[in-house]
Amino acid sequence: MPNSGFTFRRVRESMIETLLNLGIKDFRVLDAMSQVPRHIFLDEAFWPRAYENRSLTISYGQTISQPYIVAKMTELLIAHTNSRGKVFERVLEIGSGCGYQSAVLSFFCEQVDAIERIKPLVQKSRENMSKLKINNVMFKFGDGYQDWDSSKKYDGILCAASPREYPKDLISILKKDAKLVLPVGGTSQKLNVIRKCENDEVEEIFYDEVSFVPMLAGTTDDGSDV
């Protein structure tokens, strides 16, 4: 493509304004999202629509999440913190897809451990992170139901695929007061925030209706089981 001098900055600014109008209040989130070029994660054919508030296809039957939902989930995950910069040591992301949400999370954590079940997407997300020079996200090809490291403790878990019920054993790898943010349900899904309290008890809060791909068990080399 000839260099027209067009930088996407203006359309990205207008996306941030849309998020603000939709009720995203945490300026830390808006600031991070204003620094992540979303078009990088998409095929060039989709670049003209890259900053619209909609999910878009990224092949293998998957999508890049809608900017509003990325903003909302990040806002919920960090809501109990109030400083700027890296408020968390370690966050687990399940269903990292092309890595857009991972890039946003990288602003808030020393380390992001991301798991994705479709092999070529893992490769793609690694390439996307190196294009953006983000080096605190580690992508793992695996199944988010089980392939996380049970010896680590997380300051938060964000999952971008919808299980029928939330996987209860994820609570065991959360630190106290940390949250699991994820969609739960089948044809009808709700955004859930599950906070770990004293004695491994949990507090569950249900938010808006959402529409995510299902959280599927196992892994695939080519996405053919989706």
Binding site for ligand SAH (CB under 6 A): 62-65, 70, 94-98, 100-101, 115-118, 121, 143-145, 160-161, 213, 215-217
Query: For residues 197 and 214, which CB has a smaller minimum distance to ligand SAH in the complex?
Result: 214
Query: For residues 88 and 139, which CB has a smaller minimum distance to ligand SAH in the complex?
Result: 139
Residue 85 tokens read as 């910069």
Q: Min. distance of Cβ 73 from ligand SAH in angstroms?
A: 9
DSSP 59-89: STT-EEPPHHHHHHHHHHHHTT--SSS--EE
Query: For residues 106 and 111, which CB has a smaller minimum distance to ligand SAH in the complex?
Result: 106
Q: Contact 169/190 with Cβ under 8 angstroms?
A: no
Q: Contact 12/31 with Cβ under 8 angstroms?
A: no
Q: Contact 152/179 with Cβ under 8 angstroms?
A: no
Catalytic, 65? Answer yes
Q: Which of 14, 55, 65, 83 is catalytic?
A: 65
Q: Contact 50/98 with Cβ under 8 angstroms?
A: no
Q: Min. distance of Cβ 40 from ligand SAH in angstroms?
A: 12
CA atoms within 13 A on the CB side of 45: 4
Q: Quick check: helix, strand or coil at residue 20?
A: helix
Residue with tokens 């909609």: 54
Query: For residues 83 and 135, which CB has a smaller minimum distance to ligand SAH in the complex?
Result: 135
Integer Cα distance of 60 and 39 in angstroms: 18
Q: Min. distance of Cβ 48 from ligand SAH in angstroms?
A: 18
Q: Min. distance of Cβ 176 from ligand SAH in angstroms?
A: 25
Integer Cα distance of 37 and 44 in angstroms: 13
Integer Cα distance of 9 and 18 in angstroms: 14
Q: What share of the chain is helix, strand, coil (3-state, %, to 5)?
A: 30, 30, 40
Q: Min. distance of Cβ 33 from ligand SAH in angstroms?
A: 11
Query: For residues 81 and 211, which CB has a smaller minimum distance to ligand SAH in the complex?
Result: 211
Residues labelled catalytic: 65
